[in-house]
Structure 1
Amino acid sequence: MSARLEALSAAGVSIWLDDLSRERLETGNLADLVATSSVVGVTTNPTIFAGALSNGERYTAQLREVAAASGTAADAIFALTTEDVRNACDVLRPVYDEDAFDGRVSIEVEPGLAMDTDGTITQARELWQAVSRPNVMIKIPATKPGLPAITAAIAAGISVNVTLIFSNERYREVMDAYLTGLERAVEAGIDISTIHSVASFFVSRVDSEVDKRLDAIGSSEATALKGKAALANAWAAYAAYQEVFGSERFAALAGANVQRPLWASTGVKDPAYPDTLYVSELVVDGCVNTMPEKTMQAFADHGEVTGDTVTGRGTEADEVFAALAAVGIDFDDVLEVLEREGVEKFDVSWGELVDTVTAQLAAVAQ
């Protein structure tokens, strides 16, 4: 067992692996990470599945079944990914049985539905039913059309991982969508203690975009702010989380679970920064950090837990935002760009996934 990852877990951070493949499942690698690296959850996305399906022959038998049934690439993707997520849920079921906040595996609705409320709701139900495990979470993007879909899914008793959150304004809308869903679930007679959710707040991409703009400005005041925006954004988000889930509105929902903050995109993209930056500086009890394996291994090797590095830093975050504005950074524009690019990147990955599976179906049908 990694002592450093154990320390991170003991500090209240749930470590979720940002990766899944059939190879990890069939070789026992995922089970080993649960046993030795304090991993208590898994997240997936189209990019992850595109990589998994393009690099392995472990999907061939199932692809043959789909091809024999004259299935399309979309049918194959649905079958292959829900199978992997179902099996990962089974690996993590003991964790879930011990603490239902964890032991979770997330699967995302198609990126092309990001601006389609009704389509998102329909596919969220389909994925929930296909995986058919209580510890699955359906990933729904925090786009404007995604917000009512989040409410509808929660109201139906579906646990949701809200993804692609960049701005605190949108984060507050996400929390409102969650609470509204819980209120509707109560009205429908659903046991809300069984409904869980996380809000995936993206981190490293914020620094990537802001730092690029600071370099373009080029002043000493601007360059001094590099590497500060992402953490400030996350600290402000946690302050908003404390406010909303400390409110009378939430308290009135007897038996409800908080929607935990999840720090996503925590792999460092600038080699000038410590490779554990978005882990060590985002330690707070009750949050999730979903990490690429490379980041998790780095923390296991040399990461440090120095206590809570998040609580009470809302004012400090505001000071960073003010300093960014003073040197000419339009932070609202940064966040709008990141959301748009996030959706576009997953769309591209989805297209690559469809192309890969289409080719594989043709190959196994010969």
Structure 2
Amino acid sequence: MSEQQSSTPPAPVTRLRDAGVAIWLDDLSRELVRSGELARLVAERGVVGVTTNPTIFAAALSRGDAYDEQLGRLAAAGVDVDEAVFTITTDDVREACDVLADVHRSTGGQDGCVSIEVDPRLARDTAATVETAKRLWEAVDRPNLYIKIPATVEGLPAISDVLAAGISVNVTLIFSLSRYAAVLDAHQTGLERAAAAGLELSTIRSVASFFVSRVDGAVDARLDALGSPDAESVRGTIALANARLAYALHQQVVSSDRWRALARAGAIAQRPLWASTGVKDPRYPDTLYVDQLVAPGVVNTMPGATLEAVADHGHVVPDTVTGTYTRSHEQIETLGNLGIDLDQVTVDLERDGVAKFEASWDELLQTVRAGLDAHAPEGTS
């Protein structure tokens, strides 16, 4: 590939952008930032944002030596493992924010953002989530930062509190339409409180991360156990149906009188963000959760492999969501008639999602603890 060619995003990427889809990368590491790879992905793959989570950080810390120097300094300073993790992750996110600063400026603050997650062990603790979100915001100290807060029952008031403080939020771990409706309400409540406090609403941004592939993973296993033609007919359709109906809900909210009042005060709509878009079932096209979720004003956050697949052979056409709502309802109704309760599936997925992030956080702590011990001054480990 020539230099001239390499600076032009591939056609599927351009078509996604033109259809109103913002491409965010679901990955971050110090090597990705400092090697120039993130900047290359911005230039060549149309990446306009980055999301992180404990699993991503744990993987980054477990490979290579990019963190050795900092681990040595932290060990010499006698920093404990929790503070070391806080310092390392906020440093990575701050550097990524700086790489994306030009995108943030050129899009008027709409994109060019990086998300960092509150310690997942706090997912059931509203007050601690709010406190940690504010601490992360102050530590990174960049306008293009989003704080990720899980959409647990306890997370909902935290979302409102953090937005009311003027902090941008990425709401994560959304699986069900009912919980998404509660998230949309929490977002508006936070902005209403921010407006009452005299804050500038246009600087407070939010996305709502609606998880996709994990829904098919859980539902398809139940359908396969049934083994009937009706079960086979909806295999691989429920995650898309669920997400498409979430977009319909988003459209309803931004058409409401409540939202119009906020918009007149300068508020910016919370965008749906399609998360967990890597295809896990090899029987499905590897770009399924990108090609089939094209709609204006959404974000699709992709792992690197999915991004490359889309760039290579994505079949992107404008708006594969609007107009699908009746069929989506029918598919979910068929699922219920088969005896599979989607509401229970999503409850289980939220519980498992929190548990997986807690496990990844424990892995991250263990990795950093081992690094601190390895770099500790002689006689102190």
* Residues 1:238 and 2:216 are matched in the alignment: no
Structure 1 Cα separation of the partners of residues 312 and 202 of structure 2: 37
The letter of the residue matching 2:59 is: G
Q: CA deviation at 1:34?
A: 0.3
Alignment of 1:330-341 (within 5 A): 330-341=341-352
1:294 alignment counterpart = 305
1:240 match: secondary structure: helix
Structure 2 Cα separation of the partners of residues 224 and 314 of structure 1: 17
TM-score, length basis structure 1: 0.99
Structure 2 Cα separation of the partners of residues 151 and 238 of structure 1: 21
Structure 1 Cα separation of the partners of residues 34 and 248 of structure 2: 41
Structure 2 Cα separation of the partners of residues 5 and 321 of structure 1: 31
1:107 match: secondary structure: strand
1:271 match: secondary structure: coil
2:285 match: secondary structure: coil
Question: Does the 8 Å CA contact 2:174/2:209 hold for their aligned counterparts?
Answer: yes
TM-score, length basis structure 2: 0.95
Instruction: Work out which of the residue numbers 250, 264, 274 in structure 1 matches 2:259.
Output: 250
Instruction: Work out which of the residue numbers 277, 281, 284 in structure 2 matches 1:270.
Output: 281
2:3 alignment counterpart = none
Structure 1 Cα separation of the partners of residues 287 and 356 of structure 2: 24
* Residues 1:81 and 2:92 are matched in the alignment: no
Structure 2 Cα separation of the partners of residues 311 and 109 of structure 1: 33
Instruction: Work out which of the residue numbers 9, 13, 23 in structure 2 matches 1:5.
Output: 13
Instruction: Work out which of the residue numbers 25, 34, 45 in structure 1 matches 2:33.
Output: 25
* Residues 1:171 and 2:180 are matched in the alignment: yes
Q: Which runs of 4+ in 1 moved over 3 A?
A: none
Question: Does the 8 Å CA contact 2:15/2:317 hold for their aligned counterparts?
Answer: no
Instruction: Work out which of the residue numbers 113, 128, 139 in structure 2 matches 1:130.
Output: 139
169-178 vs 315-324, which deviates more?
A: 315-324
Sequence identity of aligned pairs in percent?
Answer: 60
2:76 alignment counterpart = 68
Alignment of 1:197-212 (within 5 A): 197-212=206-221
Residue deviations 1:252-288 (CA, integer Å, cap 9, x gap): 1121000000000000000000000000000011100
1:270 match: secondary structure: coil
Structure 2, gaps ≥5 residues long = 1-7
2:100 match: secondary structure: helix
Q: CA deviation at 1:165?
A: 0.1
Structure 1, gaps ≥5 residues long = none
Instruction: Work out which of the residue numbers 312, 318, 321 in structure 1 matches 2:332.
Output: 321
The letter of the residue matching 2:311 is: A
Question: Does the 8 Å CA contact 1:66/1:75 hold for their aligned counterparts?
Answer: no
1:157 alignment counterpart = 166
Question: Does the 8 Å CA contact 2:164/2:191 hold for their aligned counterparts?
Answer: yes
Number of equivalent positions: 366
Structure 1 Cα separation of the partners of residues 175 and 39 of structure 2: 32
* Residues 1:357 and 2:365 are matched in the alignment: no
Q: CA deviation at 1:312?
A: 2.7
Q: CA deviation at 1:195?
A: 0.3
Query: Alignment RMSD, CA only?
Result: 0.7
